[in-house]
Amino acid sequence: MISHVLPTYNRAPVAFERGEGSWAIATDGTRYLDLGAGIAVNVLGHANPDLVATLTGQAGRIWHVSNLYRIPEQERLADLLVENTFADTVFFTNSGTEAAELAIKMARKYWDSEGDPERVEILTFDGAFHGRSTGAIAAAGSEKMVKGFGPLMPGFRQLPFGDMAALHAAISDTTCAVMIEPIQGEGGIRTLADDDLREIRALCDKTGTLLILDEVQSGMGRTGRLFAHEFAGVAPDIMMVAKGIGGGFPLGAVLATEKAAAGMVAGTHGSTYGGNPLGCAVGSKVMEIVADPAFLAEVGRKAGLFRQKLEGLVAAHPNLFEAVRGQGLMLGLKCKIAPGDLVKAGYDQQILTVAAADNTLRLLPPLNISDEDISEAVVRLDRAASAVEQG
């Protein structure tokens, strides 16, 4: 008999009832060190006192009003995002998938408003993940995500990730947009080289193509910069944000330049819940904390410490691990086996990790994880690795 909850997830047999910083406490009282952070969501850990105070304070005032009215909390978060990024304007969503939908619509609408409505093709990349809506699966195009869900939305072409020759050959002055994650998360913590991102920007400029960056997983301080593309010193025209921006409250956003957003006039897009006062109040608090240069510098320092210890772990288990991947606290252990066994062995050592494609074990801790917890994490990963080696 089918379970009352639609069985679309492969769930581990553990449930959590509360959390404290980098620790998640299960219903049986077991404390797990959380290196998944709800898949890169809980950037400030569990039950962060500032976020709890902000959420409960806002909950006592007003939760929801509708975008029929001005929403001061939304305007404040938009101000913070615009002040701290390339963007001139922001639309709020409830998730990364909704951000992907709008990014696609915005790019196509731009060309429509430019009098070029046939300019619809969006170039995307293998290993990409932009969400599970019909548009987002068509964009990513992997067999696993699209099988049985056709007909797919047309107008996407997938290229090999990081293959600049393929991009040069595919892009033209009829390409609507290039849509790419600076660091693929689900795809296995695969990092686009800064030089490649600069080259993509230059190609887009040359052909007039819009550049859409999906920073749903890599954004909000995870790499040690507010957004990963900042390392390359170039900016997108449109950017998708979600996950960390709400610190655990469902929130997403599309950021754009005034030019790229030119087609999105009143009536072209909307959302009942997107930009609600609760989510935006929390989002502003997250931004206040995470966008602080001192906080970001600390992420960079902790990432250096973690990475160094992980290199030691890889060296200690050469039969299991190949390399450390990623940037900042968006880290991956490239494995010589499917990472599922390591995730399972991690449960026995009370540590939470996340599997990804390309045989990669993802480590996405809260950005404020302590040095002590980083050391503890590596001790537990070492034990989990030994357990897998011993079969």
Ligand X SMILES: Cc1ncc(COP(=O)(O)O)c(C=O)c1O
Amino acid making up residue 220: M
Amino acid making up residue 270: G
Name the residue nearer to ligand X (CB basis): 129 or 295.
129
**217 is annotated as contributing to ligand binding:** yes
* Secondary-structure breakdown of the chain: helix, strand, coil percentages, each rounded to the nearest 5: 40, 20, 40
Name the residue nearer to ligand X (CB basis): 58 or 95.
95
Q: According to CB under 6 A, which one of 96, 221, 246, 274 is a site residue for ligand X?
A: 96
Could you give the CA distance from residue 119 to residue 151 in angstroms, rounded to a whole number?
Answer: 21
- Which region among 201-209, 210-218, 340-348, 363-371 touches ligand X (by CB under 6 A)? 210-218
For residues 50 and 290, is the Cβ–Cβ distance under 8 A?
A: no
Give me the phi and psi of 311, to 5 degrees please: -60, -40
214 binds ligand X (CB under 6 A): yes
Q: Return the biggest CA–CA distance within the chain.
A: 64
Report which DSSP code applies to 254. Answer: E
Binding string to ligand X for residues 37 to 76, with x set by CB under 6 A, is what?
A: --x-------------------------------------
User: Pairing between strand 89-93 and 252-256?
Assistant: antiparallel
For residues 330 and 189, is the Cβ–Cβ distance under 8 A?
A: yes
Least distance (Å) between residue 317 CB and ligand X: 27
Name the residue nearer to ligand X (CB basis): 87 or 102.
102
- Which region among 69-77, 211-219, 221-229, 260-268 touches ligand X (by CB under 6 A)? 211-219
Long-range contacts of residues 333-340, Cβ cutoff 8 Å, at least 24 apart? 333/360, 333/361, 333/363, 333/381, 334/188, 334/189, 334/358, 334/359, 334/360, 335/359, 335/360, 335/361, 337/388
- Which region among 91-99, 109-117, 230-238, 363-371 touches ligand X (by CB under 6 A)? 91-99
302's CB contacts (< 8 A; 6+ apart) are 329, 367, 369, 371, 374
H/E stretch holding 93 reads: strand 89-93
**172 is annotated as contributing to ligand binding:** no
- Which region among 84-92, 124-132, 143-151, 299-307 touches ligand X (by CB under 6 A)? 124-132
**272 is annotated as contributing to ligand binding:** yes
Could you give the CA distance from residue 126 to residue 180 in angstroms, rounded to a whole number?
Answer: 10
Name the residue nearer to ligand X (CB basis): 135 or 380.
135
Q: According to CB under 6 A, which one of 95, 124, 175, 349 is a site residue for ligand X?
A: 95
The closest residue (CB) to ligand X is: 96
For residues 239 and 254, is the Cβ–Cβ distance under 8 A?
A: yes
For residues 377 and 351, is the Cβ–Cβ distance under 8 A?
A: yes
- Return the residues of window 237-296 that contact ligand X according to CB under 6 A: 242
Q: According to CB under 6 A, which one of 38, 127, 135, 185 is a site residue for ligand X?
A: 185
Name the residue nearer to ligand X (CB basis): 45 or 219.
219
* Tokens 């079969």 found at: 391
- Which region among 152-160, 170-178, 214-222, 373-381 touches ligand X (by CB under 6 A)? 214-222
Q: According to CB under 6 A, which one of 34, 73, 181, 373 is a site residue for ligand X?
A: 181
- Return the residues of window 286-345 that contact ligand X according to CB under 6 A: none
Q: According to CB under 6 A, which one of 58, 158, 217, 360 is a site residue for ligand X?
A: 217
Q: Which residue ranges make up the site for ligand X (CB under 6 A)?
A: 39, 95-97, 100, 129-131, 181, 185-186, 214, 216-217, 242
Residues placed in the known binding site for N(2)-acetyl-L-ornithine? 132, 271
Residues placed in the known binding site? 96-97, 129, 132, 214-217, 271-272
